[in-house]
Structure 1
Amino acid sequence: MLIKGFYTVLKTTVVDTNTIHVTIKLNKDHDVFNGHFPGNPITPGVCMIQTIKEITQDQVNSTLFLQTISNIKFTALINPNINAELILELSIIEDNNTVKIKNITKFTDGTIALKCNGTFIKN
């Protein structure tokens, strides 16, 4: 984990051969929130992308490097004091040395907070 203690995986559900749903809990007391932003913590987008990468790495059991990320849309602010638990719906397709993902991150009430597609290179 690059950002140690940033989140905890609560549950992983295998939906089908290419899809998983992972419930995580953000650590609202993590130092990253002291600077982003004091008194009104908002989860940095780069931290969410790193989280998606780490969860994908665990699923494919390989170190990954981000090649491209596209169609990234943050549709809601992720404040860990309000919505600490997130559900990441990940479609993962492995092809030789690449891993392609489609992600939808939601709050537990179903509100979409983030959508993106990405391609990773296996190490």
Structure 2
Amino acid sequence: MDLDYFKLIDRIVDLNLDAKTITVEAQVPEKHTIFEGHFPGHPIMPGVLLTEAMAQTSGWLLIALTKFERMPFLAAIKEAKMRGFVSPGDLLSIEASLVHEGSGYAITAAKVRVGGKLRSEATITFGVVPFPHPDLRVHMDAMAAKIGFPLQALTHD
């Protein structure tokens, strides 16, 4: 997890295109300036970053389902719930599944767990469009390689 660059996914653990699900992992840094103010003496991961991690996880699922032909952009967050604290050093397991897609939009359900315990969940809506710029596609290809995106999954029919 690289909080400075909003790269909140470390690795893809499982991608199942048939079930339309993805599971990723992310290691919360032990130390970061964000924890100095959130909160002194009781550092916890901000809920907005947990929500972003769920959105990024969902985004990778949508990129996979469109076979890297379309890019998802966050459109709405519904029913976001923080169910427990996430602390520095925690290993996050983030799951997302496709709930609905069509007319240029997609809706996912996502959850964050730590040690098997639910910490956060949300329903997230995305606008899904062709990649708006070639540089973004190049960047996403590089990020896919970095997080272990299983390219062989794209050849599965």
Q: Which TM bucket (shorter chain)?
A: 0.7 to 0.9
Q: CA deviation at 1:6?
A: 6.0
Q: Any gaps of 5 or more consecutive residues in structure 1?
A: none
2:48 alignment partner, one of 23, 32, 46: 46
Q: CA deviation at 1:67?
A: 2.1
Q: In 1, Cα distance between the equivalents of 2:104 and 2:75?
A: 11
Query: What residue is the counterpart of 1:100 in the other structure?
Result: 107
Equivalent residues of 1:68, 1:118 under 8 A apart: yes
Equivalent residues of 1:5, 1:30 under 8 A apart: no
Change beyond 3 A, Cα 1:30–1:94? farther
Matches within 5 A, 1:16-95: 16-17=17-18, 18-61=20-63, 62-81=70-89, 84-92=90-98, 93-95=100-102
Q: In 2, Cα distance between the equivalents of 1:115 and 1:54?
A: 13
Q: Any gaps of 5 or more consecutive residues in structure 2?
A: 64-69, 130-157
The TM-score normalised by the length of structure 2 is: 0.64
How many aligned positions are there?
120
Q: Which amino acid aligns with 1:119?
A: T
Higher helix share: 2
Equivalent residues of 1:11, 1:24 under 8 A apart: no
Equivalent residues of 2:9, 2:57 under 8 A apart: no
Q: In 2, Cα distance between the equivalents of 1:67 and 1:7?
A: 19
Equivalent residues of 1:10, 1:25 under 8 A apart: no
Change beyond 3 A, Cα 1:86–1:28? same
* % identical equivalent positions: 23
- Aligned-pair Cα RMSD in Å: 2.4
Which structure has the larger Rg over C-alpha atoms? Answer: 2
Query: What residue is the counterpart of 1:122 in the other structure?
Result: 128
Q: In 2, Cα distance between the equivalents of 1:16 and 1:122?
A: 17
